[in-house]
Chains A and B, each alone.
Chain A
Amino acid sequence: MPSPPLIAYAHVGKSFDGGRGAERVKAVDDVSLEVAEGEFLAIVGGSGSGKTTLLRLANRLIDADSGSITVEGEDVRAADPVALRRRIGYVFQSGGLFPHISVAGNIGITPKLLGTPAVEIAARVDELLDLVRLDRGLYRDRLPHELSGGQRQRVGVARALAARPRIVLMDEPFGALDPLTRDALGDDYRALHRKFGLTTVMITHDMTEAILLADRVAVMRGGKLLAQGTPSELSNSDDAYVGELLHTPRRQAERLKVLLPRDGAA
């Protein structure tokens, strides 16, 4: 790898209190993982696999118990967590928009926190609305509850990009959307990722989505990193769980090929 990784996890561990005297749950167990600059990495796993915890460790929404995490070469423990979060974009599950703040206010929140002048923020908001393909005049002043799920998530993406971050973290960003919207948003984001040379880490439980969007896929289960690599590298993995995860998209692809012949035989 020519350039040093932009995000690097080294033997990271994190456990949580199980509650009511239960044993502590190891959410992330000795995970080492690197994300290169410009890379789009998808982390795939079921619920309770530790994938979301792993993501939150990167911008210190959670602090690790053991191991070390570096972002842009700097150990996150040495960084001011607030400053760190302001320079990393974050897209939340189902948007995480502030319900009492307009679309423009939501998008411009991080620049505002950084002290960017209002005029600049307004221009940036319009630019971002164009980028996520929402009509400026129509949506600028709306409140989140006046938007559809897909529109809300577009605003979420715009908000993550507002302060021109190099890194974007996405927590199941398209999970709650209908398949068409999801597909469109995924493609649009992928284009933005490429256009701005972003480094993206996306959490998903959907292997198909991961394969279609990401350069590389990491598979987690029970807090452990089972496998990582490009889709074709993963298909060579001899891990049973990885095979199981790949089985679904494969079978779907085959079924679709049969059911929807392109050559118009039917």
Chain B
Amino acid sequence: MSLFSDPRWSEALAHLPDYLGNHVRVSVTALALGLAISLPLAIAARNRPAMRGTLLGFASIVQTVPGLALLALFYPLLLALAALSLSWFGFGFSAFGFLPAVLALALYSMLPVLRNTITGLNGVDAAILEAAQGVGMTPRQSLLSVELPLALPVMMAGVRTAAVWVIGTATLSTPIGQTSLGNYIFAGLQTQNWVFVLFGCLAAAVLALAVDQLLALIETGIRARSRLRTALGGIGIAALVAATLVPSMARSPSSYIVGAKTFAEQYVLSALIAQRLRAAGLSASSREGLGSNVIFEALASNDIDVYVDYSGTLWANQFHHTDIKPRQVLLDELKATLAQQRITLLGELGFENAYALVMPRKRAEQLGIRSIADLASHAGTMSTAADYEFFSRPEWARLQKAYGLTFREQRQMQPDFMYAAVASGEVDVIAGYTSDGLIAKYDLMVLDDPRHAIPPYDAMVLLAPKRADDQALKAALAPLLGRIDISAMREANLRAAGGDGASSPDVVARWLWEKIAKR
């Protein structure tokens, strides 16, 4: 099979209008906002050294914040603002997706624009400024007809840098709910779909280059006083924006939005839910790759309609409980807590995706390790790896306390890679997920937790407040409840990580449905 006959290329292509359109909209809006803020500030600051220093310092600090963190920070900030606005002025706004992405990206675009505008304006020859004054120009006329035109090449270089940065960084707005070309990359990384990753990177790069070249055309057009080039560049950008606006107009606003977090199982489950909704004659779209903290708030504020979460995650991370209760008690308490926020806990799917310490079966048998308690005495000579959040989660603290666990070395890894790492002996133990298909694939062993340090992680379907009385939705999802057991989910996850054409979440979800529908 040649590289391009892979069916995932056509699947990727099918998403392009949606992803690219959203990407262009969020980037262009952010860039426009960034320019609208930065240009007047730079002009005002050019002759005020203190203001100039403060501004550039601020913009530099913003730049040092990693793009992903900056985007993630805007979500809670806006959520708080939205709540304030609701209580003060009686209206709220969605802190999900577009708005936080635009604000964070606009902030991100400021440094090159500020710096280059100030540098450009300050670089205008003092003799020319004096001449402008001497021929009778007002400060405003001097700025508009002499200083800005002369600073323009340097300024445009800044705008182009900002455009490329914003388009690149916009791929990171997927986890806060803004659909972008990042959807390919996040989904691809999670489901080992390298075609998607490659497609997303290429699309973002081509878009960045295209916008950069159009801006370059405008720049040379202005410099060479060629109206034609300036107009061509302007028309090019306008056409790009217009072309990406059209498909989104056609989208029906009344469809159900199914959320998914950033790992393969979530992609499969959201695809499954969307398929069931469509089978019931409802329209559904997915919002994938959402951050763990973002997705719950998005549901609570009705930005998404339905998603699958895990009881232990909500218990420990969302509601900050430090104690662990028996499974049924915990579920009942969660249900009551969720009901206070008018969120419906529709029911459990039938499997758990808990954290668990996992090691190769052979090695465990050699050392006589069956449970975490057995592991504790060997841990001092062993290394461990986990995903980016595990070591800062309460479960880890509880595990350490309950079993006196201390490893020689702790490493953080992309979840997809840690199973291979433990199988190859790169690390000795990993904190894996019980529903992960790779456990079977690599013949790994899940260690028992006799002291119940890790809470139960039942997968359960949550509905947004506005869907609390939606019988059609509930009926469509009822056939899923209690039907997906751990072995079915593990196999589905293994298929999703297959890295070939049959591994797309949609295909795997259809397989999963056929498997459970027979029961």
Task: State whether A93 touches B127 (Cβ < 8 A).
Answer: yes
A123 on interface, CB distance cutoff 8 Å: no
Task: State whether B128 touches A96 (Cβ < 8 A).
Answer: yes
Assuming the contacts A82-B138, A86-B136, A113-B136, asked whether A96 and B131 have C-beta atoms less than 8 A apart, the reply is yes
B149 on interface, CB distance cutoff 8 Å: yes
Q: Which 7 pairs between the two chains have the least Cβ-Cβ distance? A: A96-B131, A86-B136, A85-B136, A90-B134, A110-B135, A100-B149, A109-B135
**When chains A and B are docked, how far (Å) is the Cα of A59 from the Cα of B135?**
10
Q: Mark B126-146, 1 if CB is under 8 A from A, else 0.
A: 011011111111100100001
Assuming the contacts A98-B128, A98-B146, A113-B141, asked whether A92 and B134 have C-beta atoms less than 8 A apart, the reply is yes
The 8 Å CB contact of B150, one of A85, A99, A109, A114, is A99
Since A86-B135, A110-B136, A113-B137 are in contact, a sample of 14 more A-B pairs with Cβ atoms closer than 8 Å, ordered by chain A residue number, is: A59-B134, A82-B136, A83-B136, A85-B134, A90-B134, A90-B135, A96-B128, A98-B131, A98-B132, A98-B146, A99-B128, A113-B135, A113-B141, A159-B135
Q: Mark B106-144, 1 if CB is under 8 A from A, else 0.
A: 000000000000000000000110111111111001000
**When chains A and B are docked, how far (Å) is the Cα of A93 from the Cα of B321?**
77
Within the complex, the shortest CB–CB distance from B431 to chain A, in Å, comes to: 62
Within the complex, the shortest CB–CB distance from B144 to chain A, in Å, comes to: 12
Chain B positions within 8 Å of A, measured between CB atoms, are 127-128, 130-138, 141, 146, 149-150
Q: Mark A54-76, 1 if CB is under 8 A from B, else 0.
A: 00000101000000000000000
Within the complex, the shortest CB–CB distance from A83 to chain B, in Å, comes to: 8
Task: State whether A100 touches B150 (Cβ < 8 A).
Answer: yes
A125: chain B residues at CB < 8 Å are: none
A85: chain B residues at CB < 8 Å are: 133-136
Task: State whether B131 touches A97 (Cβ < 8 A).
Answer: yes
Task: State whether B130 touches A92 (Cβ < 8 A).
Answer: yes
B138: chain A residues at CB < 8 Å are: 82
Within the complex, the shortest CB–CB distance from B35 to chain A, in Å, comes to: 22
Interface of B is mostly: helix
The 8 Å CB contact of A61, one of B128, B134, B141, B146, is B134
Within the complex, the shortest CB–CB distance from A135 to chain B, in Å, comes to: 22
Task: List 28 A–B pairs whose Cβ atoms lie within 8 Å, in order of A's numbering.
Answer: A59-B134, A61-B133, A61-B134, A82-B138, A83-B136, A85-B133, A85-B134, A85-B135, A86-B136, A90-B134, A92-B127, A92-B130, A94-B127, A96-B127, A96-B128, A96-B131, A97-B131, A98-B132, A99-B128, A99-B150, A100-B146, A100-B149, A109-B135, A109-B137, A113-B137, A113-B141, A114-B136, A159-B135
Inter-chain contact count A-B, CB under 8 Å?
47
Chain A positions within 8 Å of B, measured between CB atoms, are 59, 61, 82-83, 85-86, 90, 92-94, 96-100, 109-110, 113-114, 159
Task: State whether B136 touches A96 (Cβ < 8 A).
Answer: no
**When chains A and B are docked, how far (Å) is the Cα of A94 from the Cα of B127?**
9
**When chains A and B are docked, how far (Å) is the Cα of A92 from the Cα of B132?**
11
A100: chain B residues at CB < 8 Å are: 146, 149-150
**Most chain-A CB neighbours within 10 Å: which of B127, B131, B137, B149?**
B131
Chain B: CB-nearest residue to A97: B131
Within the complex, the shortest CB–CB distance from B514 to chain A, in Å, comes to: 70
**When chains A and B are docked, how far (Å) is the Cα of A92 from the Cα of B135?**
10
Task: State whether B141 touches A96 (Cβ < 8 A).
Answer: no
B136: chain A residues at CB < 8 Å are: 82-83, 85-86, 110, 113-114
B131: chain A residues at CB < 8 Å are: 92, 96-98
**When chains A and B are docked, how far (Å) is the Cα of A61 from the Cα of B126?**
13
B149: chain A residues at CB < 8 Å are: 100
A98: chain B residues at CB < 8 Å are: 128, 131-132, 146
Within the complex, the shortest CB–CB distance from B225 to chain A, in Å, comes to: 8
Within the complex, the shortest CB–CB distance from A169 to chain B, in Å, comes to: 8
**When chains A and B are docked, how far (Å) is the Cα of A96 from the Cα of B131?**
6
**When chains A and B are docked, how far (Å) is the Cα of A59 from the Cα of B130?**
12
**When chains A and B are docked, how far (Å) is the Cα of A83 from the Cα of B130?**
16
A96: chain B residues at CB < 8 Å are: 127-128, 130-131, 134
Within the complex, the shortest CB–CB distance from A84 to chain B, in Å, comes to: 8
Chain B: CB-nearest residue to A60: B133
**When chains A and B are docked, how far (Å) is the Cα of A85 from the Cα of B141?**
14
Chain B: CB-nearest residue to A59: B134
Within the complex, the shortest CB–CB distance from B224 to chain A, in Å, comes to: 11
**When chains A and B are docked, how far (Å) is the Cα of A97 from the Cα of B131?**
7
Chain A: CB-nearest residue to B136: A86
A82: chain B residues at CB < 8 Å are: 136-138
A90: chain B residues at CB < 8 Å are: 134-135
B128: chain A residues at CB < 8 Å are: 96, 98-99
Chain B: CB-nearest residue to A95: B131
**When chains A and B are docked, how far (Å) is the Cα of A109 from the Cα of B128?**
14
